[in-house]
Structure 1
Amino acid sequence: MVSYDAFRAKLEEKLSQGMGEKLLKSRVFRHLFKKVFSWQADFQLKTTEEMTNFALDITAKSLKEGEPTVWTSAFFPDEIAYAAGMTPFSPEIASGVMAAFGQAEKMLKEAESIGFSPETCSFHRCAGGMDINDYLPEPAMILASTHLCDGAPQLLKILASRHRVDFNVLDVPAGRSQKAEEYLTRQIEEAFSSCEKITGRKISQNDIEKSFAASNRAREKWLEVCELRKKFPPVLTSPAALSFVYLNFLGYGNPRTADIFSLLVDELKKKLEDRFDLNHPGKVRGNKENPYLLWLHLRPYFSREMFDYIQGRAEIVYEEMNHLFWPPLDPDEPFKSLARKILSHPGLGPIDNRVEAIKEMIEDYQIDGVVHFSHWGCRQSAGGTYQLKDSLKKMGVPFLDLQGDCVDPGGFSTGQIRTRMESFLEMLESRYQAVN
């Protein structure tokens, strides 16, 4: 049987030879790719394998001719796409995958050669380079949102023009007022109408109820995961936990997401049986071995070195990007309900909203220190680090701001990051030992 490392090496070789489009759109290749990941990848949890299969199936469906595929930006409510019978696809996630296979630098250069500024977010530049090289599925339309990210709508508008498809953007206000909700509600209703024009079919109330029911069920199961992590923080740590960001971006509205989260709940409970007394939450058989960390924003997708360096000295027990912040969806008021979901994001509006959410995470997950990965080009996240550091200092919680890039290895200084991480971990260990 072909090993995962050998398969990855062969894939990287073929991609570098410019065979990306032919390979990615090959049915035989997708089948082999899925089997190799399922059989050979180092899945610590069955859930991760199921999520990988889901991602591969969604990607394969988006590449299939005749299937209406809609490109969406991160944080866009994909319940709309699923209700419309369309397959959502994220160019930003595709950039992360390309980085994981060591091909991002080539795509970034391609994008910059036609005018994409190197000052912009590498997720977007890489996606632009991938589109130039026909690595992405053909979109039937593009849906984007301005909240949390200004770069994605600008990129997708350019690519919509290139593909000559409709471009729809939700202009999300920064406030949470009734006026803002009404303004956004009208736009979401228009987004539903745009999907109907593209697919040629009416989105029925039954379609909405199915999509919202799938989303609400997934929400409930993810909250169960979060409760287990609150009571027993080390049960699920990063980088494995950060991989579930994929489902938070593209999974809500699809019934398989709830099944995957349900499996995760079962696996975590089984994992806990030998170490914890599940009938007495928080009562650990044995002492807390390492300090607990909260991870803010994303991570570099081309390397796990940072996490390998942390392992054994601290545990990343929760991640900001996995924080569930929105109320259940109401199928009887679908447009208003989705508007409320969007407007409830703690990263939207004053930095105080994000600070309060982070404080809540610190208390819920027994956090000893906070690490913020400031991805170059992501102004909405990195721009608030001074206020975060100041607020956490008042709480007595150590804070580390690591500056780098999630997609571009050229924007990642391994030596500098290791030096800063070492200093932070030494300080954290010293504080932890003194308290315990």
Structure 2
Amino acid sequence: MRGLNEVQSSTEQKIHLMNNKTLPNGDEPEGDWESPTNQIEFIEQSRHDHKYSKGVSKLFDFALSYMADAEKGNQNGKPAVWSTGLMEAPLIYACDIVPMAVYDLGRLGSAEGAAQLSEDLFDMPKETCSMVSALLGEWYQRRNNSVKKVVALSTVCEPLNMAYEMIREFGFDIHRVDQVIKPIQGGEERLEQMIQYLTRELADVAVFLTGKPLDEAKMAVEIKRMNRLMAKFREIIKLRVANPLYIKSLPMLFLLMGSGHYFGKPEAYEVLLDELIDELKNAEYVPSPLGKIVPLTWVGARGLEFGVYKAVDDLGGALLSWFTPNPYDRIWREDIPPLEAMARFILEYFVTGSPVNQIKYIEKMIEDSGSKGMFFYTYVGCPYGGLHVELFRDYFHKKGIPSSGLEGSWQVGAPSGQLITRVRAFIEMLS
């Protein structure tokens, strides 16, 4: 296998061919991959590239309308709450409330301006995690909006915990969930104690949101919905192995994020999954622009730099599995009380827990998708992501699985040239 330095010349020649709209077989590539400068343009270009898919177009409609529809609904009597948008949907929907995902905040907005605003208002050092800086600025710009409740999970990251405290002065009502992490030691007795504690913490969320105890029957129904939807999502993942570029990386990113909150439209999201499954089962094969497919696994944050995903697709890569904060690969228990089921699910999965607990899931994803390599993606200044990546990288390096680390920023413009060059070189190395 060639090293990254050895393939730079070949990669640059390929880039030149694509920028000049000519591929080795004489065909022209789809679209102009260098032209988009913001997230909306990347989405519209991807929509055009997927003009054969009504499902993908509908997915982008959901993504673009998600925040505005939730805010409008909140004003019209359908309550909404800020949350992580990762795995708390069964609890929040059981309270008849729409989750507004913190991590989608700014994804389609002006995060660069928000980060600068945060630095100016709060004297945030430039070394601060770009995600936290941008979110503070985004919340400040939304300080007069109607959605004021926030459910904050304490183990997401410590800088974000501090940011939650800072936005209290803007009138946001913060409810902390003291979220524990699965112990490596201590045995079943210790684990059961933590489950009981976290169950009580989750019960308090319902009281915070509604002023009354949780309707457990409703949450049991929502858990069944989550399991049903994730089974459909896994079917899409499986079908993509045979036709990787029918649904390319960017729409898969949004489909993945939607698995944690359904874009505020649970019934419509399920219909969308069914439509995409039907399309994949009957679709013609979509070839790579360069005549090859390199199956890959994405590990880490769900980046905002959409050009990275486009570069993967255009150079023959296919992100066929995703180890991100969205745990689509696991099942909620339906045979125990719903809050206990949620506590057990969190303790088994949570990505900010010990990396030791997570490696087995990444290995299974690599095996199921036939991945030849892995991208590890973290945000600049992330205090825990970098450490996790190094632990993962060391483990999989010893297993002989190639990887490339990508460090991006929480910004909505085109990705840096350096980031794209790393993507291009890594895929070329695996070809």
Shorter-normalised TM range? 0.7 to 0.9
Distance in 1 (alpha carbons) for counterparts of 2:390 and 2:38: 44
Shift of 1:190: 1.2
- Kindly indicate whether residue 311 of structure 2 is the aligned counterpart of residue 308 of structure 1: yes
* Pair 1:194 & 2:208 matched: yes
Runs of 4+ in 1 over 4 A off after TM superposition: 8-12, 40-44, 230-235
Residue 50 in structure 1 maps to residue 58 in structure 2: yes
Backbone CA RMSD of aligned residues: 3.4
Partner residue of 2:9? none
Aligned counterpart, 2:240: 229
Aligned partner of residue 106 in structure 2, secondary structure:
helix
Query: 1:72: which partner in 2?
Result: 83
Kept in 2: contact 1:237–1:318 (CA 8 A): no
Q: Which residue of 2 aligns with 1:260?
A: 272
Determine the structure 1 residue equivalent to 2:121.
Answer: 114
State the distance in 1 between where 2:56 and 2:372 align. Answer: 27
Aligned to 1:86: 97
What do residues 211-255 of structure 1 show as CA deviations (whole Å, max 9, x unaligned)?
233222212211222332356555544122112132133229933
Structure 2 residue runs without a partner (length 5+): 1-35, 185-190
Contact 2:182 2:348 in 1 (8 A): no
Cα-to-partner distance string for 1:102-127 (whole Å, 9 max, x where unaligned): x2221111111121343333233222
- Cα–Cα, structure 1 residues 375 and 304, in superposed 2: closer, same or farther, change >3 Å? same
**Which of residues 235, 253, 257 in structure 2 aligns to 1:242?**
253
Cα deviation for residue 164 of structure 1 reads: 4.8
TM-score computed with the length of structure 1 as normaliser: 0.75
- Percent identity over the alignment? 20
Secondary structure, counterpart of 2:86 in structure 1: coil
Instruction: Tell me what 2:422 maps to.
Output: 420
Against the structure 1 CA distance between its residues 42 and 158, is the aligned structure 2 distance closer, same or farther, given a 3 Å change threshold? farther
Shift of 1:163: 1.1
Identify which of 339, 342, 346 aligns with 1:342: 346
Greater shift, 43-52 or 387-396, is seen at: 43-52
Report the TM-score when normalising by structure 2: 0.76
Q: Shift of residue 185 of structure 1?
A: 0.8
TM-superposed deviation, 1:206: 4.3
Alpha carbons 2:130, 2:379 under 8 Å: kept: no
1:332 deviates by 5.6
Could you tell me which residue of structure 2 aligns to residue 28 of structure 1?
none
- Contact preservation (8 Å) 1:208, 1:331: no
Counterpart of 2:20?
none
Amino acid in the other structure paired with 1:224: E
Higher relative contact order (CA 8 A, sep 6+): 2
- For 2:351 and 2:66, the matched residues in 1 are separated by 31
Q: Is residue 59–residue 89 contact of structure 1 (8 Å, CA) maintained in 2? A: no
The amino acid of 1:239's aligned partner reads L
- Structure 1 position 93, deviation (Å): 0.6
* Local SS of the residue matching 1:370: strand
Q: Is the Cα–Cα contact under 8 Å of residues 73 and 153 in structure 1 kept in the other structure?
A: no
Measured against aligned partners, the alpha-carbon deviations of 1:372-421 in whole angstroms (never above 9, x if no partner) come to 122113333321222222222222211111222132669x642x224433
Q: Which residue of 1 aligns with 2:183?
A: 175
| 1:6-64 Cα distance to aligned partner (Å, 9 max, x none) | xx99999xxxxxxxxxxxxxxxxxxxxxxx98xx8664432233333434156323234
Q: What is the CA distance between 1:188 and its match in structure 2? A: 0.7
How many residue pairs match? The answer is 376
